[in-house]
Structure 1
Amino acid sequence: MAAALLLVSAWSARADPIGDAAAIAMTRPGEQIVAGDIKPRQLGALLRPVDAFYGFWANGSLRLLSRAIAADFKDHTLPPGRPQGPQGPAAASRTFLKAIPDLRVTVVQRLVVGDRVVSHLRFTGHFTGTFLGKAGTGQRVDFIATDIVRVRGGRITDNWHLEDNLTFLQQIGMIHK
């Protein structure tokens, strides 16, 4: 994991205007449903890396990312061109924060079952940066995503995700309705 993070450690150009604790607090779920067989201690262990993961999406902190995902993290729905492993979320975050510097992540709801955490997410902000060579003009961005993550040994080991990329690309003017 440390070697993977070194590859992206040069990126810390974003001055982390949102601290790690604040990023985690901002991404607490609006609603959480937990299977009845999960004990409070087990729930805490499952959610620590998940909370760090969504805090990472809010501020791009590599410290939070390293607390969240395992060295052998696998993205089961890896988009073309994104690296597998810890480098993948780091690259995606870097791209999104470059395009949408005021990106906000809201965990609308969360389901906790077994070793899985399902989160319904909402991403908002303004396209004032660049994305795939296109410069933003302040367009409002508001799209959803869903993650299913597996937590083992205190880290997220697997992620299956689906983002509403069509809405995002329409909002920034890359695809016309």
Structure 2
Amino acid sequence: MFKKVLLLVSLSVMALFHVASAASISPEIYADNQGVSAAQVKLAAMNYANFWNTGEAKFARLALAKNFVDKTPPKGRKAGIEGVLAASKAFRQAVPDLHVSVEHLLITGKYATVRYRFKGHFSGTLGEQQGHNQVIDFPAVDIYQVENGKIIANWHLEDYQTFFSQVK
């Protein structure tokens, strides 16, 4: 299972970076941390993880820069911190007992890659669909770019196929 997740993360990371042409791949290489310490990156990542785990806006505001950009927003999501707060609130309406854990944290320079596990029960509402206490358990992977101790950019992949199969 770990090898599959690692392969998924690797493929996801590769897909996020610019490809110069179909004939050649020339990814950007980030060799130094540009003044950001691993402790700053970890603190920002864990503050954001605490936000997703608790839904408390104070953790999002501690983690995210004022000019934060979600690089992979779902269709219709507001930009910036307000979009993240709204997304958490909406998801917690569907899964009120949501618990989010960090299964893996990898820090590379000014970037953090986080493998999450989202768990709870679909006992609320999702759009017009009422939950019937179905078990929710799905993974997600986020990549954060941190500057001055705050996340300025985020790329994320959630296993929505598993989630939507669980809320049927």
TM-score range, shorter chain: 0.7 to 0.9
Aligned to 1:23: none
- Aligned CA RMSD, in angstroms, stands at 1.4
Residue 6 (structure 1) aligns with: none
What are structure 2's unaligned runs of at least 5 residues? 1-31
Distance 2:53 2:116 in 1: 12
Contact 2:114 2:142 in 1 (8 A): yes
Q: In structure 2, what is the equivalent of residue 68 of structure 1?
A: 63
Deviation at 1:127, TM superposition (A): 0.4
Name which of 100, 104, 107 aligns with 1:105. 100
Say which of 128, 134, 141 aligns to 1:139. 134
Moved >4 Å (runs of 4+) = none
Tell me the secondary structure at the aligned position of residue 56 of structure 1.
Answer: helix
Q: Which residue of 2 aligns with 1:84?
A: 79
> Which whole-Å CA distance do the structure 2 matches of 1:153 and 1:111 have between them?
18
TM-score with structure 1 setting the length: 0.73
> Which aligned pairs between 1:14-93 and structure 2 lie closer than 5 A?
42-93=37-88
Q: Where in structure 1 are there 5+ consecutive unaligned residues?
A: 1-36
Offset at residue 132 of structure 1 (A) = 1.4
- 63-72 or 44-53, which moves further after superposition? 44-53
Residue of 156, 165, 168 corresponding to 1:170: 165
Rounded to whole Å, the distance in 1 between the matches of 2:103 and 2:45 is 14
Aligned residues: 135
Give, in angstroms, the shift of residue 96 of structure 1: 1.1
Residues 61-91 of structure 1, C-alpha deviations (whole Å, 9 max, x = no match): 1111110101111011011011111112101
Scaled by the length of structure 2, the TM-score of the pair is: 0.77
| Max Rg structure | 2
